[in-house]
Amino acid sequence: MIRVVFNQKGGVGKSSITCNLAAISACQGLKTLVVDLDPQGNSSHYLTGKTVQEMDDTLFDFFEQCLMISSQRKPMTQLIQPTQWDNLHVLPAHSELESLEAKLESRYKIYKLKEMLQEQAEIYDQIFIDTPPALNFFSRSALIGAERCLIPFDCDAFSRQALGQLLGNIDEMRADHNPDLQVEGIVVNQMQPQAKLPQQLVNELIEEGHPVLPVHLMSSVKMRESHQLSKPLVHYVPKHKLTGQFVELFSVLSE
Ligand SMILES: Nc1ncnc2c1ncn2[C@@H]1O[C@H](COP(=O)(O)OP(=O)(O)OP(=O)(O)O)[C@@H](O)[C@H]1O
Ligand SMILES: [Mg+2]
């Protein structure tokens, strides 16, 4: 299964959701790969403890190699890094990824990621792709390469307004490039059950027929702590309520 976690809005929980679902998947014995397409490298750092500046072998090499006709290539096995957890690997981002964007775009390399993901899907049971907060070459490559799209939603009025546009963009990618792409659902993140407005927003989305997933993720300081320690929740606080919600969400997605 190749799954992209996407929302053009920043800070809605894409990297947190990507890494925590991937860590749970790996814990359940599934061979799992996280592909980090965001030059900020938050997922790469969360899963390895290293910053993008500290990594030699990254997605930069993959995309740079897509632009070269013949030269010594680094094999994917060199670019994909192990983590300290069994079954969990990461293909790290690089801070300079954006410097390749114009060339990749002008030379029609938008299907290269898909080809690579399909090769990796022979090896990995689950592939999770983290995306930058933009509809750019990299996130479009991911929407073309994925089978499913998960949309984190942060219960904010601006996010609510942007949702129509976001779903429209995904529909357009499906129509033009990837008929297999399914919107798996909207994941409500940082839910504060006591607050009225977020609940009202979620109810409106459901009434309008949007595919809101039944498991909502609560807001907890444990998330920030787990980022700081580079330890996904299932390893940091396995019994916490938010960890339980992630486990439940993964099982809903696996049905
Ligand atoms: N359920 C949660 N509870 C508390 N804090 C959270 C939760 N989910 C995410 N956060 C925090 O919100 C911030 C943004 O989360 P994250 O980096 O996952 O979002 P993002 O969509 O990947 O952001 P960007 O668009 O910049 O890549 C982080 O500091 C993270 O720790
Ligand atoms: Mg992120």
Q: What is the pLDDT of residues 214-223, one digit of tens each?
A: 999 999 999 9
Q: Is 58 in the pocket of ligand 1 (CB under 6 A)?
A: no
Per the prediction, the chain carries an average pLDDT of 95
Average pLDDT over residues 91-97: 96
Question: pLDDT by residue (tens digit) across 65-87?
Answer: 999 876 778 999 999 999 999 99
Question: pLDDT by residue (tens digit) across 45-69?
Answer: 999 999 888 898 999 999 999 998 7
Question: pLDDT by residue (tens digit) across 132-166?
Answer: 999 999 999 999 999 999 999 998 888 888 899 99
Residue 234 tokens, joined: 């299932």
- Most informative mutation of 4, 6, 15 for ligand 1 (most atoms within 8 A of CB): 15
3-state secondary structure of 253: helix
Which element (helix H / strand E) includes 88? strand 88-91
For the CA of 152, the closest atom of ligand 1 is 21
Q: Is 219 in the pocket of ligand 1 (CB under 6 A)?
A: yes
On the CB side of 199, CA atoms within 13 Å amount to: 5
Closest residue by Cα to atom 6, ligand 1, is 223
For residue 70, the model assigns a pLDDT of 65
Angle at 6 between CA 41 and CA 162, to 5 degrees: 120
CB 245 within 8 A of CB 222: no
Question: pLDDT by residue (tens digit) across 179-213?
Answer: 999 999 999 999 887 888 888 999 999 999 999 99
